[in-house]
Chain A
Amino acid sequence: MSAGVLEVRDVQKSFGAVTAAKDVSVTVPQGSVYSLIGTNGAGKTTFVNMVTGYIKPDAGQINFDGRDIAGLAPRQITRLGIHRSFQIAQLCNELTVEENMLVAGAIHGKTGPSFLRRADDGSARDRALATLERFNIAEHRNRLIPELSGGVKKLLDIAMAMAGETQVMLLDEPTSGVAADEKFPIMDLVIEALRAEGVTVIFVEHDMDIVTRYSERVLAFYDGQIIADDAPDEVLSDPEVQRYVTGGPA
Protein backbone atom coordinates (compact mmCIF):
# COMPACT_ATOMS: atom_id res chain seq x y z
CA MET A 1 0.00 0.00 0.00
CA SER A 2 1.66 3.22 -1.10
CA ALA A 3 1.32 6.55 0.67
CA GLY A 4 -1.60 8.85 -0.03
CA VAL A 5 -3.71 6.25 -1.77
CA LEU A 6 -7.41 6.23 -0.96
CA GLU A 7 -8.89 2.80 -1.39
CA VAL A 8 -12.59 2.15 -0.94
CA ARG A 9 -13.51 -1.50 -0.86
CA ASP A 10 -16.97 -3.12 -0.98
CA VAL A 11 -18.61 -0.33 0.95
CA GLN A 12 -22.33 -0.69 1.70
CA LYS A 13 -24.76 1.80 3.11
CA SER A 14 -28.50 1.94 3.25
CA PHE A 15 -30.96 4.30 4.87
CA GLY A 16 -33.99 2.19 5.63
CA ALA A 17 -35.11 0.75 2.32
CA VAL A 18 -32.96 3.13 0.27
CA THR A 19 -29.61 1.81 -0.86
CA ALA A 20 -27.15 4.68 -0.91
CA ALA A 21 -24.03 2.60 -1.52
CA LYS A 22 -23.80 -0.92 -2.84
CA ASP A 23 -20.47 -2.72 -3.35
CA VAL A 24 -18.71 0.59 -3.88
CA SER A 25 -15.04 -0.05 -4.63
CA VAL A 26 -12.49 2.32 -6.09
CA THR A 27 -8.81 3.12 -5.71
CA VAL A 28 -7.77 6.74 -6.06
CA PRO A 29 -4.01 7.21 -6.52
CA GLN A 30 -2.21 10.12 -4.91
CA GLY A 31 -2.27 13.37 -6.84
CA SER A 32 -5.02 12.38 -9.24
CA VAL A 33 -8.18 14.36 -10.00
CA TYR A 34 -11.41 12.38 -9.94
CA SER A 35 -14.92 13.57 -10.51
CA LEU A 36 -18.13 11.93 -9.31
CA ILE A 37 -21.21 12.18 -11.52
CA GLY A 38 -24.72 10.86 -11.20
CA THR A 39 -28.29 12.04 -10.72
CA ASN A 40 -29.48 13.29 -7.35
CA GLY A 41 -29.71 10.39 -4.96
CA ALA A 42 -27.28 8.25 -6.94
CA GLY A 43 -24.85 8.08 -4.03
CA LYS A 44 -22.23 10.75 -4.76
CA THR A 45 -22.67 12.76 -1.60
CA THR A 46 -23.04 9.57 0.43
CA PHE A 47 -19.64 8.57 -0.93
CA VAL A 48 -18.13 11.89 0.15
CA ASN A 49 -19.86 11.69 3.51
CA MET A 50 -18.58 8.18 4.17
CA VAL A 51 -15.00 8.98 3.24
CA THR A 52 -15.02 12.07 5.47
CA GLY A 53 -16.76 10.46 8.42
CA TYR A 54 -20.14 12.21 8.39
CA ILE A 55 -21.82 8.83 8.01
CA LYS A 56 -20.51 5.40 8.86
CA PRO A 57 -20.67 2.68 6.23
CA ASP A 58 -22.70 -0.43 7.13
CA ALA A 59 -19.92 -2.65 5.80
CA GLY A 60 -16.71 -2.48 3.81
CA GLN A 61 -13.39 -0.75 4.22
CA ILE A 62 -12.07 2.69 3.46
CA ASN A 63 -8.29 2.59 3.56
CA PHE A 64 -6.07 5.62 3.55
CA ASP A 65 -2.31 5.25 3.82
CA GLY A 66 -2.98 1.63 4.62
CA ARG A 67 -5.24 2.39 7.58
CA ASP A 68 -8.95 1.64 7.75
CA ILE A 69 -10.68 4.95 8.39
CA ALA A 70 -14.29 3.78 8.01
CA GLY A 71 -16.28 4.93 11.01
CA LEU A 72 -13.71 7.39 12.36
CA ALA A 73 -15.02 10.79 13.44
CA PRO A 74 -14.74 13.65 10.93
CA ARG A 75 -12.06 15.39 12.96
CA GLN A 76 -9.93 12.26 13.11
CA ILE A 77 -10.17 11.80 9.36
CA THR A 78 -9.40 15.47 8.83
CA ARG A 79 -6.28 15.12 10.94
CA LEU A 80 -5.09 12.33 8.66
CA GLY A 81 -5.14 14.81 5.77
CA ILE A 82 -8.51 14.11 4.15
CA HIS A 83 -10.47 17.35 3.92
CA ARG A 84 -13.71 18.35 2.29
CA SER A 85 -15.73 21.30 1.14
CA PHE A 86 -19.49 21.48 1.33
CA GLN A 87 -22.38 21.83 -1.06
CA ILE A 88 -23.46 24.81 1.02
CA ALA A 89 -20.26 26.53 2.11
CA GLN A 90 -19.79 25.98 5.85
CA LEU A 91 -18.43 29.21 7.27
CA CYS A 92 -18.68 31.16 10.50
CA ASN A 93 -21.06 33.97 9.71
CA GLU A 94 -20.27 36.13 12.71
CA LEU A 95 -16.57 36.22 11.86
CA THR A 96 -14.75 38.03 9.09
CA VAL A 97 -13.11 36.22 6.18
CA GLU A 98 -9.73 36.64 7.81
CA GLU A 99 -10.99 35.35 11.16
CA ASN A 100 -12.47 32.30 9.46
CA MET A 101 -9.07 31.66 7.98
CA LEU A 102 -7.40 32.23 11.36
CA VAL A 103 -9.68 29.61 12.89
CA ALA A 104 -8.54 27.12 10.28
CA GLY A 105 -4.91 28.10 10.81
CA ALA A 106 -5.19 27.82 14.60
CA ILE A 107 -6.63 24.32 14.38
CA HIS A 108 -4.01 23.17 11.90
CA GLY A 109 -1.03 24.73 13.67
CA LYS A 110 1.83 22.35 14.44
CA THR A 111 1.45 22.54 18.21
CA GLY A 112 -2.34 22.49 18.32
CA PRO A 113 -4.45 25.46 19.36
CA SER A 114 -3.12 27.41 22.31
CA PHE A 115 -4.89 28.95 25.31
CA LEU A 116 -2.44 31.82 25.41
CA ARG A 117 -1.14 32.63 21.94
CA ARG A 118 -3.21 35.36 20.37
CA ALA A 119 -5.30 34.11 17.47
CA ASP A 120 -4.43 37.19 15.45
CA ASP A 121 -0.72 37.46 16.15
CA GLY A 122 1.47 38.59 13.28
CA SER A 123 2.65 35.28 11.92
CA ALA A 124 -0.82 33.72 12.07
CA ARG A 125 -2.23 36.63 10.09
CA ASP A 126 0.57 36.36 7.56
CA ARG A 127 -0.19 32.69 7.04
CA ALA A 128 -3.92 33.35 6.75
CA LEU A 129 -3.32 36.12 4.26
CA ALA A 130 -1.03 33.91 2.19
CA THR A 131 -3.72 31.24 1.89
CA LEU A 132 -6.38 33.81 1.08
CA GLU A 133 -4.12 35.21 -1.62
CA ARG A 134 -3.55 31.77 -3.05
CA PHE A 135 -7.30 31.56 -3.57
CA ASN A 136 -7.54 35.13 -4.74
CA ILE A 137 -9.90 36.29 -2.00
CA ALA A 138 -7.52 38.37 0.15
CA GLU A 139 -9.31 41.57 -0.85
CA HIS A 140 -12.39 40.41 1.07
CA ARG A 141 -10.51 39.66 4.27
CA ASN A 142 -12.28 42.21 6.48
CA ARG A 143 -15.78 41.44 5.31
CA LEU A 144 -18.36 39.35 7.12
CA ILE A 145 -19.53 36.15 5.45
CA PRO A 146 -23.14 37.15 4.68
CA GLU A 147 -21.82 39.98 2.49
CA LEU A 148 -19.92 37.63 0.18
CA SER A 149 -20.90 36.25 -3.22
CA GLY A 150 -21.49 32.52 -3.65
CA GLY A 151 -18.19 32.09 -5.43
CA VAL A 152 -16.13 33.78 -2.72
CA LYS A 153 -17.85 31.68 -0.07
CA LYS A 154 -16.97 28.49 -1.96
CA LEU A 155 -13.36 29.59 -2.31
CA LEU A 156 -13.08 30.44 1.37
CA ASP A 157 -14.63 27.09 2.27
CA ILE A 158 -11.94 25.35 0.25
CA ALA A 159 -9.17 27.68 1.42
CA MET A 160 -10.01 26.85 5.05
CA ALA A 161 -9.78 23.15 4.31
CA MET A 162 -6.38 23.78 2.72
CA ALA A 163 -4.91 25.43 5.83
CA GLY A 164 -3.47 22.12 7.01
CA GLU A 165 -1.36 19.50 5.35
CA THR A 166 -4.06 18.30 3.04
CA GLN A 167 -3.49 15.14 1.07
CA VAL A 168 -6.95 14.39 -0.25
CA MET A 169 -9.61 17.01 -0.93
CA LEU A 170 -13.23 16.10 -1.56
CA LEU A 171 -15.23 18.92 -3.09
CA ASP A 172 -19.00 18.50 -2.86
CA GLU A 173 -20.38 20.40 -5.86
CA PRO A 174 -17.78 23.17 -5.87
CA THR A 175 -19.67 25.18 -8.49
CA SER A 176 -23.21 24.95 -7.12
CA GLY A 177 -24.47 28.31 -5.97
CA VAL A 178 -21.83 30.05 -8.05
CA ALA A 179 -22.72 32.50 -10.84
CA ALA A 180 -22.40 30.90 -14.30
CA ASP A 181 -19.57 33.11 -15.48
CA GLU A 182 -17.58 32.43 -12.30
CA LYS A 183 -17.66 28.64 -12.56
CA PHE A 184 -14.67 28.13 -14.85
CA PRO A 185 -12.48 30.79 -13.24
CA ILE A 186 -13.17 29.27 -9.83
CA MET A 187 -12.44 25.73 -10.99
CA ASP A 188 -9.26 26.93 -12.72
CA LEU A 189 -8.12 28.54 -9.51
CA VAL A 190 -9.05 25.67 -7.23
CA ILE A 191 -7.71 22.82 -9.34
CA GLU A 192 -4.50 24.66 -10.02
CA ALA A 193 -3.97 25.49 -6.34
CA LEU A 194 -4.67 21.92 -5.29
CA ARG A 195 -2.53 20.34 -7.99
CA ALA A 196 0.34 22.65 -7.14
CA GLU A 197 0.44 20.97 -3.72
CA GLY A 198 0.05 17.49 -5.12
CA VAL A 199 -3.32 17.06 -3.44
CA THR A 200 -5.62 14.27 -4.58
CA VAL A 201 -8.90 15.84 -5.69
CA ILE A 202 -12.30 14.17 -5.78
CA PHE A 203 -15.14 16.45 -6.81
CA VAL A 204 -18.87 16.01 -7.25
CA GLU A 205 -20.16 17.81 -10.33
CA HIS A 206 -23.28 18.03 -12.48
CA ASP A 207 -21.80 20.11 -15.29
CA MET A 208 -20.23 17.72 -17.84
CA ASP A 209 -18.09 20.49 -19.37
CA ILE A 210 -16.42 20.96 -16.02
CA VAL A 211 -16.10 17.20 -15.58
CA THR A 212 -14.33 16.71 -18.92
CA ARG A 213 -12.16 19.75 -18.52
CA TYR A 214 -10.80 19.17 -15.02
CA SER A 215 -10.94 15.49 -14.13
CA GLU A 216 -8.57 12.76 -15.14
CA ARG A 217 -10.99 10.09 -14.27
CA VAL A 218 -14.73 9.91 -13.70
CA LEU A 219 -16.81 7.74 -11.39
CA ALA A 220 -20.40 7.48 -12.56
CA PHE A 221 -22.91 6.62 -9.81
CA TYR A 222 -26.31 5.11 -10.29
CA ASP A 223 -28.54 3.70 -7.59
CA GLY A 224 -25.71 3.56 -5.05
CA GLN A 225 -23.33 1.76 -7.38
CA ILE A 226 -20.37 2.83 -9.46
CA ILE A 227 -21.42 1.95 -13.01
CA ALA A 228 -18.35 3.38 -14.74
CA ASP A 229 -14.80 4.20 -13.63
CA ASP A 230 -12.67 5.47 -16.48
CA ALA A 231 -11.30 8.49 -18.34
CA PRO A 232 -13.93 11.22 -18.94
CA ASP A 233 -14.38 10.53 -22.66
CA GLU A 234 -14.83 6.82 -22.08
CA VAL A 235 -17.32 7.29 -19.29
CA LEU A 236 -19.38 9.90 -21.07
CA SER A 237 -19.66 7.78 -24.20
CA ASP A 238 -20.65 4.70 -22.20
CA PRO A 239 -24.25 3.89 -23.21
CA GLU A 240 -25.20 2.93 -19.68
CA VAL A 241 -23.92 6.24 -18.34
CA GLN A 242 -25.75 8.09 -21.10
CA ARG A 243 -28.92 6.27 -20.24
CA TYR A 244 -28.80 6.66 -16.46
CA VAL A 245 -26.69 9.74 -15.81
CA THR A 246 -26.21 12.23 -18.58
CA GLY A 247 -29.47 11.57 -20.38
CA GLY A 248 -28.01 11.21 -23.88
CA PRO A 249 -24.73 11.53 -25.79
CA ALA A 250 -22.68 14.40 -24.50
Chain B
Amino acid sequence: MRMSVYLSAIIAFVALAAGSIILPDWAMFLFAMALAKGLVCLGIIGMMRGGVVSFGQGLYYCIGAYTATLIANHLGVSDIFLLTLLSAAVCLVVGLVFGPLLSNYRGIFFAMLSLALSMVLYGSLSKMSFIGGTDGLNIGAPTFLGWAPEGRPLQTALYLYVVAIVVISGTLMRIYFDSERGLITLATRDNELRVEYLGASVRNLMTYNYVFGALLGGIGGTIAVLALGHVDPEFAFWTTSGEFVFVAILAGYLSVPAVFVAAIILELVRSFSNLYFPNTWQLALGIFLLVVIVALPNGLGSLVSKRKENKT
Protein backbone atom coordinates (compact mmCIF):
# COMPACT_ATOMS: atom_id res chain seq x y z
CA MET B 1 0.00 0.00 0.00
CA ARG B 2 2.78 2.43 0.92
CA MET B 3 4.36 1.74 -2.47
CA SER B 4 1.32 3.14 -4.24
CA VAL B 5 1.75 6.44 -2.38
CA TYR B 6 5.37 6.74 -3.52
CA LEU B 7 4.43 5.73 -7.03
CA SER B 8 1.71 8.38 -7.19
CA ALA B 9 4.21 10.92 -5.90
CA ILE B 10 6.67 10.08 -8.67
CA ILE B 11 3.97 10.24 -11.31
CA ALA B 12 2.70 13.55 -9.92
CA PHE B 13 6.22 14.99 -9.95
CA VAL B 14 6.94 13.91 -13.51
CA ALA B 15 3.57 15.17 -14.74
CA LEU B 16 3.90 18.54 -13.01
CA ALA B 17 7.55 18.92 -13.91
CA ALA B 18 6.68 18.37 -17.56
CA GLY B 19 4.73 21.61 -17.21
CA SER B 20 8.04 23.48 -17.01
CA ILE B 21 8.66 22.55 -20.65
CA ILE B 22 5.20 22.82 -22.16
CA LEU B 23 3.58 25.66 -20.22
CA PRO B 24 3.80 29.23 -21.50
CA ASP B 25 5.18 31.82 -19.10
CA TRP B 26 1.83 33.12 -17.89
CA ALA B 27 0.55 29.60 -17.19
CA MET B 28 3.69 28.58 -15.36
CA PHE B 29 3.33 31.60 -13.09
CA LEU B 30 -0.34 30.79 -12.55
CA PHE B 31 0.46 27.18 -11.71
CA ALA B 32 3.25 28.17 -9.35
CA MET B 33 0.91 30.53 -7.48
CA ALA B 34 -1.86 27.94 -7.44
CA LEU B 35 0.43 25.26 -6.06
CA ALA B 36 1.81 27.64 -3.42
CA LYS B 37 -1.72 28.45 -2.30
CA GLY B 38 -2.57 24.76 -2.53
CA LEU B 39 0.05 24.15 0.16
CA VAL B 40 -1.82 26.51 2.49
CA CYS B 41 -5.06 24.70 1.68
CA LEU B 42 -3.46 21.33 2.34
CA GLY B 43 -2.94 22.57 5.89
CA ILE B 44 -6.64 23.44 6.13
CA ILE B 45 -7.49 19.95 4.88
CA GLY B 46 -5.41 18.49 7.71
CA MET B 47 -7.49 20.46 10.20
CA MET B 48 -10.76 19.65 8.45
CA ARG B 49 -10.03 15.97 8.97
CA GLY B 50 -10.20 16.69 12.67
CA GLY B 51 -13.47 18.58 12.24
CA VAL B 52 -12.30 22.20 12.39
CA VAL B 53 -11.95 24.75 9.62
CA SER B 54 -9.54 27.66 9.93
CA PHE B 55 -10.84 30.89 8.46
CA GLY B 56 -7.55 32.57 9.23
CA GLN B 57 -4.92 30.60 7.39
CA GLY B 58 -3.88 33.87 5.78
CA LEU B 59 -2.08 34.45 9.08
CA TYR B 60 0.64 31.96 8.19
CA TYR B 61 0.57 32.74 4.50
CA CYS B 62 1.29 36.33 5.46
CA ILE B 63 3.87 35.58 8.17
CA GLY B 64 5.73 33.31 5.76
CA ALA B 65 5.73 35.95 3.04
CA TYR B 66 6.81 38.80 5.33
CA THR B 67 9.48 36.71 7.04
CA ALA B 68 11.05 35.78 3.73
CA THR B 69 10.85 39.38 2.51
CA LEU B 70 12.33 40.90 5.65
CA ILE B 71 15.12 38.35 5.79
CA ALA B 72 15.90 38.86 2.12
CA ASN B 73 15.87 42.65 2.37
CA HIS B 74 17.64 43.08 5.68
CA LEU B 75 19.95 40.08 5.98
CA GLY B 76 20.69 39.79 2.30
CA VAL B 77 19.65 36.18 2.13
CA SER B 78 18.36 35.27 -1.30
CA ASP B 79 18.73 31.51 -1.29
CA ILE B 80 15.29 30.02 -1.75
CA PHE B 81 16.00 26.97 0.39
CA LEU B 82 17.22 29.05 3.29
CA LEU B 83 14.33 31.52 2.97
CA THR B 84 11.80 28.69 2.98
CA LEU B 85 13.45 27.08 5.96
CA LEU B 86 13.56 30.30 8.00
CA SER B 87 9.96 31.26 7.19
CA ALA B 88 8.82 27.77 8.07
CA ALA B 89 10.71 27.99 11.35
CA VAL B 90 9.03 31.29 12.25
CA CYS B 91 5.60 29.86 11.40
CA LEU B 92 6.40 26.77 13.43
CA VAL B 93 7.10 28.93 16.47
CA VAL B 94 3.93 31.01 15.99
CA GLY B 95 1.93 27.84 15.39
CA LEU B 96 3.29 26.32 18.57
CA VAL B 97 2.17 29.39 20.50
CA PHE B 98 -1.38 29.56 19.11
CA GLY B 99 -1.95 25.87 18.45
CA PRO B 100 -2.39 24.83 22.08
CA LEU B 101 -4.66 27.85 22.70
CA LEU B 102 -6.91 27.21 19.72
CA SER B 103 -7.00 23.45 20.21
CA ASN B 104 -9.77 23.86 22.79
CA TYR B 105 -12.15 25.44 20.32
CA ARG B 106 -14.38 23.86 17.72
CA GLY B 107 -16.79 24.82 15.00
CA ILE B 108 -17.55 28.48 14.58
CA PHE B 109 -15.42 29.47 17.53
CA PHE B 110 -12.31 27.93 16.05
CA ALA B 111 -13.10 29.46 12.68
CA MET B 112 -13.66 32.93 14.13
CA LEU B 113 -10.70 32.89 16.51
CA SER B 114 -8.35 31.89 13.73
CA LEU B 115 -9.89 34.63 11.63
CA ALA B 116 -9.40 37.11 14.47
CA LEU B 117 -5.70 36.24 14.75
CA SER B 118 -5.16 36.82 11.06
CA MET B 119 -7.00 40.14 11.28
CA VAL B 120 -4.83 41.22 14.20
CA LEU B 121 -1.83 40.67 11.95
CA TYR B 122 -3.55 42.47 9.08
CA GLY B 123 -4.34 45.43 11.32
CA SER B 124 -0.83 45.56 12.77
CA LEU B 125 0.96 45.34 9.44
CA SER B 126 -1.27 48.02 7.94
CA LYS B 127 -0.15 50.41 10.68
CA MET B 128 3.54 49.55 10.56
CA SER B 129 4.84 52.10 8.10
CA PHE B 130 8.46 51.07 8.70
CA ILE B 131 7.74 47.83 6.87
CA GLY B 132 5.62 49.36 4.18
CA GLY B 133 2.24 49.70 5.87
CA THR B 134 -0.63 48.98 3.53
CA ASP B 135 1.70 49.27 0.51
CA GLY B 136 3.69 46.25 1.54
CA LEU B 137 7.21 45.36 0.48
CA ASN B 138 9.05 44.14 -2.57
CA ILE B 139 11.42 41.20 -2.64
CA GLY B 140 14.08 40.43 -5.22
CA ALA B 141 14.42 37.26 -7.22
CA PRO B 142 15.61 34.22 -5.28
CA THR B 143 18.82 32.34 -5.91
CA PHE B 144 19.15 28.56 -5.92
CA LEU B 145 22.25 27.43 -3.98
CA GLY B 146 24.29 30.20 -5.50
CA TRP B 147 22.75 30.02 -8.96
CA ALA B 148 21.00 33.26 -9.92
CA PRO B 149 18.89 32.66 -13.01
CA GLU B 150 16.84 35.34 -14.77
CA GLY B 151 13.91 35.34 -17.15
CA ARG B 152 12.49 32.00 -18.20
CA PRO B 153 15.14 29.91 -16.36
CA LEU B 154 14.23 31.75 -13.13
CA GLN B 155 10.55 31.02 -13.68
CA THR B 156 11.29 27.41 -14.49
CA ALA B 157 13.49 26.96 -11.44
CA LEU B 158 10.89 28.51 -9.17
CA TYR B 159 8.17 26.37 -10.70
CA LEU B 160 10.17 23.17 -10.29
CA TYR B 161 10.97 24.17 -6.73
CA VAL B 162 7.30 24.56 -5.83
CA VAL B 163 6.47 21.31 -7.63
CA ALA B 164 9.08 19.49 -5.57
CA ILE B 165 7.81 21.01 -2.33
CA VAL B 166 4.23 20.19 -3.25
CA VAL B 167 5.04 16.59 -4.02
CA ILE B 168 7.10 16.12 -0.85
CA SER B 169 4.51 17.81 1.39
CA GLY B 170 1.66 16.01 -0.31
CA THR B 171 3.34 12.66 0.18
CA LEU B 172 4.15 13.35 3.81
CA MET B 173 0.60 14.48 4.51
CA ARG B 174 -0.82 11.41 2.75
CA ILE B 175 1.37 9.19 4.93
CA TYR B 176 0.19 11.12 7.98
CA PHE B 177 -3.49 10.90 6.95
CA ASP B 178 -3.17 7.13 6.54
CA SER B 179 -1.29 6.71 9.81
CA GLU B 180 -2.66 5.78 13.20
CA ARG B 181 -2.80 9.42 14.21
CA GLY B 182 -4.48 10.22 10.92
CA LEU B 183 -7.23 7.73 11.64
CA ILE B 184 -7.63 8.96 15.21
CA THR B 185 -7.98 12.49 13.82
CA LEU B 186 -10.78 11.30 11.57
CA ALA B 187 -12.41 9.62 14.55
CA THR B 188 -12.19 12.89 16.48
CA ARG B 189 -14.12 14.70 13.78
CA ASP B 190 -16.80 12.09 14.28
CA ASN B 191 -16.90 11.58 18.02
CA GLU B 192 -14.52 13.47 20.22
CA LEU B 193 -15.91 11.99 23.41
CA ARG B 194 -15.16 8.47 22.23
CA VAL B 195 -11.58 9.39 21.42
CA GLU B 196 -11.04 11.02 24.82
CA TYR B 197 -12.47 7.95 26.54
CA LEU B 198 -10.11 5.74 24.61
CA GLY B 199 -7.31 7.65 26.29
CA ALA B 200 -6.11 9.97 23.51
CA SER B 201 -5.66 13.69 23.97
CA VAL B 202 -7.85 15.44 21.44
CA ARG B 203 -6.11 18.74 22.19
CA ASN B 204 -2.82 17.19 21.31
CA LEU B 205 -4.18 15.92 17.98
CA MET B 206 -5.69 19.30 17.17
CA THR B 207 -2.47 21.08 18.08
CA TYR B 208 -0.43 18.94 15.71
CA ASN B 209 -2.87 19.51 12.87
CA TYR B 210 -2.76 23.24 13.54
CA VAL B 211 1.03 23.31 13.60
CA PHE B 212 1.25 21.37 10.35
CA GLY B 213 -1.18 23.89 8.90
CA ALA B 214 1.04 26.73 10.12
CA LEU B 215 4.12 25.19 8.51
CA LEU B 216 2.39 24.59 5.19
CA GLY B 217 0.87 28.08 5.30
CA GLY B 218 4.29 29.64 5.87
CA ILE B 219 5.93 27.68 3.07
CA GLY B 220 3.07 28.56 0.73
CA GLY B 221 3.40 32.25 1.62
CA THR B 222 7.17 32.19 1.05
CA ILE B 223 6.83 30.70 -2.40
CA ALA B 224 3.97 33.04 -3.28
CA VAL B 225 5.94 36.16 -2.37
CA LEU B 226 8.97 34.94 -4.33
CA ALA B 227 6.78 34.33 -7.36
CA LEU B 228 4.96 37.65 -7.04
CA GLY B 229 7.94 39.72 -5.90
CA HIS B 230 5.65 41.65 -3.56
CA VAL B 231 3.78 41.21 -0.29
CA ASP B 232 1.23 43.42 1.46
CA PRO B 233 -1.08 43.05 4.46
CA GLU B 234 -3.85 41.72 2.20
CA PHE B 235 -2.10 38.36 2.53
CA ALA B 236 -3.64 38.19 6.01
CA PHE B 237 -7.02 39.76 5.16
CA TRP B 238 -9.94 37.48 5.80
CA THR B 239 -11.03 37.31 2.17
CA THR B 240 -7.64 35.77 1.33
CA SER B 241 -8.26 33.13 3.98
CA GLY B 242 -11.78 32.74 2.60
CA GLU B 243 -10.33 31.71 -0.73
CA PHE B 244 -8.17 29.11 0.95
CA VAL B 245 -11.24 27.67 2.64
CA PHE B 246 -12.99 27.76 -0.71
CA VAL B 247 -10.27 25.60 -2.23
CA ALA B 248 -10.36 23.22 0.73
CA ILE B 249 -14.12 22.82 0.40
CA LEU B 250 -13.86 22.35 -3.34
CA ALA B 251 -11.22 19.67 -2.80
CA GLY B 252 -12.79 17.91 0.18
CA TYR B 253 -10.59 16.16 2.70
CA LEU B 254 -10.41 12.78 1.04
CA SER B 255 -7.71 13.29 -1.53
CA VAL B 256 -4.43 15.19 -1.42
CA PRO B 257 -4.04 15.75 -5.18
CA ALA B 258 -7.59 17.16 -5.23
CA VAL B 259 -6.37 20.10 -3.14
CA PHE B 260 -3.92 21.16 -5.80
CA VAL B 261 -6.35 20.49 -8.62
CA ALA B 262 -8.89 22.69 -6.80
CA ALA B 263 -6.28 25.41 -6.29
CA ILE B 264 -5.40 25.37 -9.98
CA ILE B 265 -9.09 25.48 -10.95
CA LEU B 266 -9.59 28.52 -8.74
CA GLU B 267 -6.61 30.35 -10.25
CA LEU B 268 -7.78 29.53 -13.76
CA VAL B 269 -11.30 30.73 -13.04
CA ARG B 270 -9.86 33.86 -11.49
CA SER B 271 -7.63 34.75 -14.40
CA PHE B 272 -10.24 34.04 -17.05
CA SER B 273 -12.87 35.99 -15.14
CA ASN B 274 -10.42 38.83 -14.75
CA LEU B 275 -9.87 38.77 -18.47
CA TYR B 276 -13.45 38.52 -19.64
CA PHE B 277 -15.63 39.65 -16.72
CA PRO B 278 -13.39 41.94 -14.69
CA ASN B 279 -16.20 43.18 -12.47
CA THR B 280 -17.97 39.93 -11.83
CA TRP B 281 -15.31 37.50 -10.86
CA GLN B 282 -16.41 37.36 -7.23
CA LEU B 283 -19.93 36.74 -8.46
CA ALA B 284 -18.70 33.83 -10.55
CA LEU B 285 -16.73 32.55 -7.58
CA GLY B 286 -19.76 32.76 -5.29
CA ILE B 287 -21.98 30.87 -7.68
CA PHE B 288 -19.22 28.33 -8.20
CA LEU B 289 -18.93 27.86 -4.43
CA LEU B 290 -22.68 27.33 -4.06
CA VAL B 291 -22.68 24.81 -6.88
CA VAL B 292 -19.83 22.90 -5.23
CA ILE B 293 -21.57 22.88 -1.85
CA VAL B 294 -24.79 21.59 -3.37
CA ALA B 295 -23.53 19.26 -6.10
CA LEU B 296 -20.26 18.05 -4.63
CA PRO B 297 -20.65 18.23 -0.85
CA ASN B 298 -17.62 16.04 -0.25
CA GLY B 299 -15.42 17.83 -2.72
CA LEU B 300 -13.53 16.76 -5.79
CA GLY B 301 -11.77 14.09 -3.78
CA SER B 302 -15.01 12.14 -3.39
CA LEU B 303 -14.92 11.48 -7.12
CA VAL B 304 -11.84 9.30 -6.71
CA SER B 305 -11.88 8.13 -3.09
CA LYS B 306 -13.50 4.95 -1.85
CA ARG B 307 -14.29 6.41 1.53
CA LYS B 308 -17.62 8.13 1.80
CA GLU B 309 -17.99 11.22 3.88
CA ASN B 310 -21.23 11.82 5.66
CA LYS B 311 -23.01 14.98 4.73
CA THR B 312 -22.58 17.32 7.60
A13 in contact (CB, < 8 A): no
| A59-67, A87-95, A210-218, A225-233 - the one binding chain B | A87-95
Cβ contact of A116, chosen from B1, B179, B184, B189, cutoff 8 A? B179
| A157-165, A176-184, A192-200, A242-250 - the one binding chain B | A157-165
Chain A residues with Cβ below 8 Å from B310 are 93-94
Separation of A71 and B200 alpha carbons in the complex (Å):
17
A75 and B179 contacting across the interface, CB-CB below 8 Å: no
Cβ contact of A100, chosen from B187, B196, B199, cutoff 8 A? B187
CB distance from A107 to the nearest CB of B (A): 4
B182 in contact (CB, < 8 A): yes
A143 in contact (CB, < 8 A): no
Task: Given A74-B197, A107-B199, answer yes or no on A117-B179 (Cβ-Cβ < 8 Å).
Answer: yes
CB distance from A94 to the nearest CB of B (A): 5
CB distance from A208 to the nearest CB of B (A): 28
Could you tell me how many residues of chain A have their Cβ less than 8 Å away from some Cβ of chain B? Answer: 36
A95 and B186 contacting across the interface, CB-CB below 8 Å: yes
Q: Mark A78-101, 1 if CB is under 8 A from B, else 0.
A: 110001100000111111000110
Cβ contact of A93, chosen from B190, B193, B200, cutoff 8 A? B190
Among B180, B201, B308, B310, which residue has the most Cβ atoms of chain A within 10 A?
B180
A-B pair number, CB within 8 angstroms = 105
Instruction: Give the residue name and chain of the A residue nearest to B181 (CB).
Output: A113
Task: Given A94-B186, A94-B189, A94-B309, answer yes or no on A114-B194 (Cβ-Cβ < 8 Å).
Answer: no
> Which residues of A (110-125) have their CB < 8 Å from a CB of B?
113-120, 124
> Which residues of B (193-239) have their CB < 8 Å from a CB of A?
193-201
Separation of A100 and B194 alpha carbons in the complex (Å):
10
> Which residues of B (152-206) have their CB < 8 Å from a CB of A?
175-176, 178-184, 186-187, 189-191, 193-201
CB distance from B168 to the nearest CB of A (A): 15
A103 in contact (CB, < 8 A): yes
Task: Given A74-B197, A75-B201, A90-B197, answer yes or no on A95-B179 (Cβ-Cβ < 8 Å).
Answer: no
Chain B residues with Cβ below 8 Å from A92 are 186-187, 190-191, 194
B199 and A118 contacting across the interface, CB-CB below 8 Å: no
Question: Could you give 24 example pairs across A and B, Cβ below 8 Å?
Answer: A75-B197, A75-B199, A78-B198, A90-B197, A91-B194, A92-B186, A92-B190, A93-B190, A95-B187, A102-B180, A103-B195, A106-B184, A107-B199, A107-B200, A113-B184, A115-B180, A115-B181, A118-B179, A119-B184, A160-B194, A160-B198, A161-B197, A161-B198, A164-B199
**B residues engaging A (CB < 8 A)?**
1-2, 175-176, 178-184, 186-187, 189-191, 193-201, 308-310
Task: Please give 8 more A-B residue pairs, beta carbons under 8 A apart, in addition to A78-B196, A106-B180, A116-B175.
Answer: A93-B191, A93-B310, A103-B183, A103-B184, A103-B187, A107-B200, A108-B198, A163-B198
